[in-house]
Structure 1
Amino acid sequence: MLDALQAAGAAAGRDAAQWWAQHVLGGRAVGEVSATARQVLTGLDDGDPAVIDGLVLADRYVLAEDRDRYAEHAPHDAPGWEQLTAHQCDQTRWSWCDGFDDAAEAEAARQCRIVLHPAGDDRDVSHLHPDRVRLGGPGVFAGDRAWTPNAGGVMRIPVGFAGTLVDTWNGWAVFTCTRQVAEAIVADQQAARDRYRQHLAADDITGERQQRMVDESLARLRIDDDVIVADETRVHGDPDAVERITPDSDGRYTVMGQAWTWTAVHPYDCDRIAGDLPNPPGQPQPEA
């Protein structure tokens, strides 16, 4: 009987949280919803009463609906309402409210994850928070200068790169990644060079001078079969500053490790992520 009431409360809690999300995160929301979603998730992780109280919660001290809820959701062979003791009546209310609150909190968190996740995924990626990335474990990485204001003026990371942290260098991250992610890093570097080239052209800097300034500021990356060629000869003024990055025995690349200032970043701060995000340990990966 109590299980049935708890399940009914959970269904009502999910519905209520979805309405909450429409007003706070969805089409009826006002302002930058990603900041609100991040605040809610952080508050739920920390057990912050101010955040939890701002969600939809069941009122545990309203008795008027107890009888109707019981009549609607109790199993057909359950005793009649009049046969219950006062304590049993309270138990029915608390079971319904427990189901409501637990489901409402879980649904609110899921809706926040959808808002923040680059692919609209509702999976929990809290295990990839930068503070939780450990040697040998997964993470999302970006250059320390990757933060860029979007159209709304909010600082975001256009693309993060999924990988495995294998070392640190002067406080910066060194990570390995798949061929797919390595190709994305090369493409991102080429896009950065193109943006700088356009910036210089806007200042009437063209031709050989433009190319020299681009090469002095940003390395050239290209893919030669299975090798990534990093040319920083003009960056460092050293004709020998060319690195050929080959995959390891598992086919993984360490792109500009101990050379570029990589850092672990939160997936929710990225507009897009190159590579697949792993589930928390112990949870199976979703089927493709």
Structure 2
Amino acid sequence: ALRAAGATAGRAAAQWWAQETLGGRAVGGVRPAALQILDALDDGDPAVLDGLPTADPYFLGDDQARYAEAAPPGGPAWQELTAHRVDEARWAWCGGFDDAVTDEVARQCRIVLHPTGDDRDLSHLHPDRVRPGGPGVFAGDWAWTPNADGEMRVPVGFAGTLVDNWNGWAVFTCTRQVAEAIVADQQAARGRYRKHLAAHGVAGVQQDRMVDESMARMRFDGDVIDVDETRVHGDPDAVDRITAGADGRYTVMGRSWTWIAVHPYDCDRITGDIPDPVEQPPTPAA
């Protein structure tokens, strides 16, 4: 009961702290601060952790009041507790407080960083933790774009399963929904480049040629992705038709484009269902 009471107080303290650091009363960009705090929680960095609300287990002044508020009916009276039990009561309340602070601070940081405001822990999708056969979020290494604050961001990440590494680049499979989003993103990129050329006076056949030389044509033809890179590579045979595998999943430009695993927190949005951690097999008994 004392630990639960301490946890309630810890969550409240963390929420007030978050308002000053990550919420409406925060000054400046909050994303870098949220990422730094999450990393510090993972690494146990005292430079950051010392700034979080904390309960002092060596301060005796609040013991009796806390005990009176939290002890359940039928529990021993404060006056009946031995010195050892008093210490246990204090440490239980303070431990509940501190654990709840770190949990709530991490949750608040995840909300700030998550592209959809979700508070799920996505640390399993950190690029360093993505393994073949496991889930990840992927983007082209060309996708990084500065936002209005000068932060390098990935406008859209694509949820998938890593199946291979090709010359250091990721090869992943994805659902039809994600494959359609990749095709749409390519078409949008071509459209942006076309507008850029038009703004600089390039039009007509020359504009078409420059767009096609820069980026592949992509479209869905039924259940097949048609990819035309003939002008990109100057090769009339550089045409590919990407079909879904037996599991219905697509490998879009794997071993062709330079895909990388990216952190979901670096994405403005993510296409596809963000996967939960893959359950690891139990470690064999010694």
Residue identity matched to 1:246 = T
- 1:32 corresponds in structure 2 to 29
Q: CA deviation at 1:206?
A: 1.2
- 2:95 corresponds in structure 1 to 98
- Partners of 1:238 and 1:89 lie apart in 2 by 81
- 2:104 corresponds in structure 1 to 107
- 1:193 corresponds in structure 2 to 190
Matched, 1:48 2:45: yes
Show the 5 A alignment for 1:57-206.
Answer: 57-206=54-203
Give every structure 1 segment of 4 or more consecutive aligned residues whose post-TM-superposition deviation is greater than 2 Å. Answer: none
- Partners of 1:265 and 1:197 lie apart in 2 by 28
Residue identity matched to 2:17 = W
Partner of 1:108, secondary structure, is: helix
Q: CA deviation at 1:61?
A: 2.2
Residue identity matched to 1:186 = V
Give unpaired runs (5+ residues) of structure 2. Answer: 281-286
Residue identity matched to 2:36 = Q
- Partners of 1:46 and 1:33 lie apart in 2 by 20
Residue identity matched to 2:96 = G
- Partners of 1:57 and 1:219 lie apart in 2 by 56
CA offsets 1:20-79 (integer angstroms, 9 cap, x no match): 111111111111101011001111111112222121111222211111111111012111
Q: CA deviation at 1:282?
A: 4.0
- Partners of 1:280 and 1:56 lie apart in 2 by 30
- Partners of 1:282 and 1:7 lie apart in 2 by 30
Give unpaired runs (5+ residues) of structure 1. Answer: 284-288
- Partners of 2:279 and 2:77 lie apart in 1 by 44
Q: Check conservation: 2:135, 2:278, Cα contact below 8 A.
A: no
Q: How does the TM-score come out when normalised to structure 2?
A: 0.96
- Partners of 1:130 and 1:91 lie apart in 2 by 42
- Partners of 1:19 and 1:137 lie apart in 2 by 37
Q: Check conservation: 2:115, 2:268, Cα contact below 8 A.
A: yes
Residue identity matched to 1:103 = A
Q: How does the TM-score come out when normalised to structure 1?
A: 0.95
Residue identity matched to 2:222 = D
- Partners of 1:280 and 1:7 lie apart in 2 by 28
Q: Check conservation: 2:134, 2:278, Cα contact below 8 A.
A: no
- Partners of 2:202 and 2:77 lie apart in 1 by 86
